[in-house]
């Protein structure tokens, strides 16, 4: 009998919570033979990311998992043996009470947010006791070292990436599919996924004034406001297929891509601007240089997280110094002048990014870690 897992996702904002939970759900089903039910409270947002999803269906099968709309107290639900709550979303009291009636009690994990900070190693695996039932909840912290919960990485991901990056005809077909058959004519390609970001203007100026030609791909989203301001137009005019040109820069607006196509975009670009958590991790698996727009938090708490990540990469993979300065400039700290220097270093940054990706890949992936932990609890 496969292990039954209930994975809960409350959509707070944007797409990261969903992206992570959906990815984990699919991997548990595909690689660990787990019967996963993914409970999502906002199916309309999910449908934006998952093309085959019916936002009106309360229950449906999608890519090897069951997706259910989470909109009540779940009085009728029968808990599985493994319960994962995404990012501390509180579970309905009646569901927790049903968990407490199970014999044995399910293994209960809270999947937390990713950070490269040192404290993560100390907090990964800590427990809290549910006051009402006495059930034990384990904190699962993703991270960049063996003493953390690891990073999501599907079994065939890096082989698929390597095959794609070595195959010019596969890349040409990908660009053709996006309606950009001319992509290969550009010296470099850059993808841009960020929140509203005042640094976009200076980067685009540097690309326009560069000696080398650039194709900038911008999937629909919050960065369009700054791209529009740079272009002197309204964001509403920037829709799928819109092309803008200035100097040596051509900008193409893309639709919001499927997960698989977004991976291919990251694999195909020479620099990827990413944000939040899931795209940030995917860019590291792309083994290409990245600019991380970290999710802004109150009182600048995110800047410590940015520093921790940059410090960890620098210690391991020895990036050219401009990379750290560029991460800061991309996140609102002074540094308008960094972009030409960053672009000049892209070839060396590419070598370092590949090295970093290979180092990360020596650690067990997050889904495997979860299932090993589960096995250790039920032995």
Q: Is 31 among the residues known to form the active site?
A: no
Select 16 or 320, whichever has its Cβ closest to ligand TRH: 16
Q: Is 154 among the residues known to form the active site?
A: no
Q: Which residues of 224-257 are buried (b: 16+ CB within 10 A; e: fewer)?
A: bbbbbbbbeeeeeebeeebebeeeebbbbbbeeb
Q: Tokens 């890096």, residue? A: 158
Q: How far is the CB of 136 from ligand TRH (least distance, A)?
A: 25
Three-state DSSP class for residue 197 = coil
Strands (E), 214-350: 214-219, 243-246, 249-254, 271-275, 290-293
Q: Which of 6, 17, 112, 226 is catalytic?
A: 17
Q: How far is the CB of 152 from ligand TRH (least distance, A)?
A: 10
Select 107 or 151, whichever has its Cβ closest to ligand TRH: 151
Q: How far is the CB of 222 from ligand TRH (least distance, A)?
A: 8
What is the Cα–Cα distance from 354 to 361, expressed in whole angstroms? Answer: 11
Q: How far is the CB of 9 from ligand TRH (least distance, A)?
A: 11
Give alpha helix (H) positions in 2-82: 16-32, 43-49
10 and 24 in contact (C-beta within 8 Å)? no
Q: How far is the CB of 193 from ligand TRH (least distance, A)?
A: 4
DSSP 295: P
- Closest-CA residue to 151 (of 357, 376, 374): 357
Q: How far is the CB of 281 from ligand TRH (least distance, A)?
A: 8
What is the Cα–Cα distance from 342 to 345, expressed in whole angstroms? Answer: 5
Q: Which positions lie near ligand TRH, rule CB under 6 A?
A: 12-17, 19, 49, 113, 193, 219, 256-257, 259, 262, 275-280, 295
Select 274 or 371, whichever has its Cβ closest to ligand TRH: 274
What is the Cα–Cα distance from 237 to 92, expressed in whole angstroms? Answer: 43
Q: Which of 85, 277, 278, 345 is catalytic?
A: 277
Select 35 or 283, whichever has its Cβ closest to ligand TRH: 283
| Alpha-carbon distance values, 120 to 180, 185, 216 (Å) | 42, 44, 35
Select 197 or 279, whichever has its Cβ closest to ligand TRH: 279
What is the Cα–Cα distance from 342 to 348, expressed in whole angstroms? Answer: 10
Active-site annotation, residues? 17, 277
């Amino acid at each position: 009998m496969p292990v039954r897992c209930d994975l809960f996702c409350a959509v707070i904002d944007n797409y990261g919570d969903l992206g992570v939970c959906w990815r984990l759900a699919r991997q548990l089903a595909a690689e660990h033979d787990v019967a996963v039910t993914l409970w999502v409270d906002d199916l309309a947002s999910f449908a934006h990311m998952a093309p085959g999803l019916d936002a009106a269906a309360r229950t449906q099968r999608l890519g090897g998992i069951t997706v259910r709309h989470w909109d009540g107290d779940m009085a009728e639900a029968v808990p599985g043996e493994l319960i994962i709550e995404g990012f501390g979303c509180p579970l309905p009291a009646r569901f927790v009470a049903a968990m407490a009636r199970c014999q044995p009690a399910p293994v209960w994990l809270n999947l937390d947010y990713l950070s490269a900070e040192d404290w993560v190693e100390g907090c990964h695996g800590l427990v809290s006791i549910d006051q009402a039932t006495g059930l034990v909840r384990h904190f699962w912290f993703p991270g960049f070292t063996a003493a953390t919960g690891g990073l999501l990485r599907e079994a065939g991901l890096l082989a698929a990436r390597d095959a794609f990056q070595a195959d010019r005809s596969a890349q040409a077909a990908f660009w053709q599919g996006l309606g950009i058959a001319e992509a290969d004519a550009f010296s470099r390609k850059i993808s841009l996924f960020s929140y509203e970001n005042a640094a976009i203007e200076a980067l685009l100026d540097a690309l326009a004034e560069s000696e080398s030609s650039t194709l900038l791909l911008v999937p629909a989203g919050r960065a369009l406001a700054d791209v529009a301001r740079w272009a002197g137009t309204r964001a509403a005019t920037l829709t799928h297929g819109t092309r803008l040109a200035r100097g040596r820069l051509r900008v193409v607006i893309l639709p919001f891509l499927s997960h698989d196509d977004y991976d291919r975009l990251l694999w195909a670009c020479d620099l990827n601007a990413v944000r939040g958590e899931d795209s940030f991790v995917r860019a590291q698996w792309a083994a290409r240089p990245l600019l991380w727009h970290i999710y802004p938090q109150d009182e600048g708490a995110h800047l410590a997280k940015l520093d921790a990540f940059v410090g960890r990469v620098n210690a391991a993979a020895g990036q050219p110094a401009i990379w750290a300065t560029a991460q800061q400039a991309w996140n609102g700290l002074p540094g308008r002048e960094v972009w030409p220097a960053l672009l000049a270093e892209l070839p060396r940054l590419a070598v370092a990014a590949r090295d970093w990706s290979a180092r990360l890949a020596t650690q067990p992936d997050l889904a495997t870690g979860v299932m090993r932990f589960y096995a250790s609890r039920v032995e």
